[in-house]
Structure 1
Amino acid sequence: MLITVSGPAGSGKSTLAAGLADALGHEHVSGGDIFRALADERGCSLVEFNELAEEDDQIDRDLDRRLRETARESTDLVLESRLAGWMAAEYADLRVWLDAPLDVRADRIADREDKPLDEVLEETRARAASEAQRYREYYGIDIEDRSIYDLTVNTARWDADACLSLVLSAAESYDDDSDEGKYPVEGVRYEF
């Protein structure tokens, strides 16, 4: 089974994906970890690396190509990234979108990165706008389109364990043979 976990920064993607992979005995691949590693290799902050990615589209395209190839070649996988649901497309059995209000997400990021909240709010807004523009430009993806997701969870409403329980229940009750509703991912230009 291939499960994707997507959502904006601070929504709880990494926490849920790791817990889900552990509970199911699946591999966990994180696009965020790959992106952060690439930024570190270049000595850039995430904001600087996002700005660089605005001018060098190959950064995003390389990451997204790897995500798509991983989805195509893997089974028993939890694939986590902002675009995991879109990149995994027809290979995904269950696509999950996590979200929370901006102030909640920014507070989580500020705690995690030990940064001032006002700075994180500004960075998070700038990062989201930058990413949305690039996704639209590169692939024709509207990141606000939730129609491809099977399950959407507001992680501000439940703690991490409850969110895991919700998604785990959906994953464990999934039956590919009786699935009549896989939502196709259409209109994406996979031009890497």
Structure 2
Amino acid sequence: MLLTVSGPPGSGKSTTAAALAEAFDLEHISGGDIFRELAAEHDMSAVEFNKLAEEDDQIDRDLDRRLRDIALERDDVLLESRLAGWLAGDAADLRFWLDAPVDVRAERIADREDKPVDVAREETVTREASEAKRYMEYYNIDYSDLSIYDISLNTARWGENEVSEIITSAVEAYDPEDDEGKYPVEGVRYDF
């Protein structure tokens, strides 16, 4: 089984992905973890590394190629990244999009990174704009197009346990033998 969990910073991707991976005994691959490791290797914050990625497209392309290869080559994987659903394409069994209002997400980020909420909000908005621009430029992906996702969920409405229960229930109800809903992701350029 290949599941993808996508969404903006602070949406609950990592928490939900970890719970899903554990519930279904899937290998959890986090694009955010890989990106933060790369940023740390360059002695940069994620925001600084995003700015560098605007100038050096190879940063995104290398990360995205790695994630797409994992999606296409491995079994029993949960792929978590902003573009996971797009990168996995029709190889994904189910694609989930998690989101919450920016103020909610900024509070979550501020709490986990021990920074003021206004700083977290500004960094988040800047980072999202940077990523959306790059995704469109590199791959012709409109980050705001949620039509490829099987479920889009506002995580501000439920606690993390309830979000995990909702997504877990969807996976349990999924029958891959009766999957007429798979469709290719069209219009995307995978020119890594």
Shorter-chain TM band:
over 0.9
The residue aligned with 1:43 is 43
Q: CA offsets, 1:27-67, max 9 Å, x none?
A: 10000000000000000011110000000000000000000
CA distance in 2, matches of 1:36, 1:21: 20
Structure 2 counterpart SS, 1:187: coil
- Using the TM superposition, name which of 49-58 and 71-80 deviates more: 71-80
Structure 2 residue runs without a partner (length 5+) = none
Equivalent residue number for residue 139 of structure 1: 139
The two structures have a TM-score, normalised by structure 1, of 0.99
Shift in Å, 1:13: 0.3
Q: Secondary structure at the match of 2:20?
A: helix
Matched to 1:83, the amino acid is L
**Counterpart of 1:40 in structure 2: which amino acid?**
A
Q: CA deviation at 1:75?
A: 1.2
**Unpaired segments of 5 or more residues in structure 1?**
none
AA matched with 1:3: L
Superposition CA RMSD, Å? 0.6
Q: How far 1:184 moved relative to its partner?
A: 2.2
TM-score (norm 2): 0.99
The answer for the alignment partner of 1:164 in structure 2 is 164
CA distance in 2, matches of 1:173, 1:183: 19
CA-CA distance at 1:183 after TM superposition: 3.1
Query: What secondary structure does 1:86 align onto?
Result: helix
Q: Indicate whether 1:122 and 2:122 are aligned.
A: yes
Count of aligned positions: 192
Per-residue CA shift, 1:54-110, capped at 9, x if unaligned? 000000000000000000011111100000000011110000000000000000000
Q: Deviation string for 1:170-189 (max 9, x for gaps)?
A: 11111111111113210000
2:34 match: secondary structure: helix
CA distance in 1 between partners of 2:121 and 2:183 (Å): 33
Is residue 2:82 matched to residue 1:91?
Answer: no
Q: What SS is found at the alignment partner of 2:3?
A: strand
Amino acid across the alignment from 1:135: Y
CA distance in 2: counterparts of 1:181 and 1:113, whole angstroms: 39
Rounded to whole Å, the distance in 2 between the matches of 1:116 and 1:183 is: 42
**1:36 counterpart letter in structure 2:** R
Alignment match, 1:175: 175
The residue aligned with 2:112 is 112
| SS of match in other structure, 2:8 | coil
Q: AA paired with 2:157?
A: R
Aligned equivalents of 2:144, 2:74: Cα separation in 1: 27
Deviates more, 1:180-189 or 1:149-158: 180-189
Q: Following the alignment from structure 2 to structure 1, what is the Cα–Cα distance between the partners of residues 5 and 171?
A: 12
Cα offsets for 1:104-132 (capped at 9, x unmatched): 00000000000011111110110000000
Percent identity (aligned): 68
**Where has structure 1 moved over 2 Å in runs of 4 or more?**
none
CA separation in 2, counterparts of 1:88 and 1:102?
A: 26
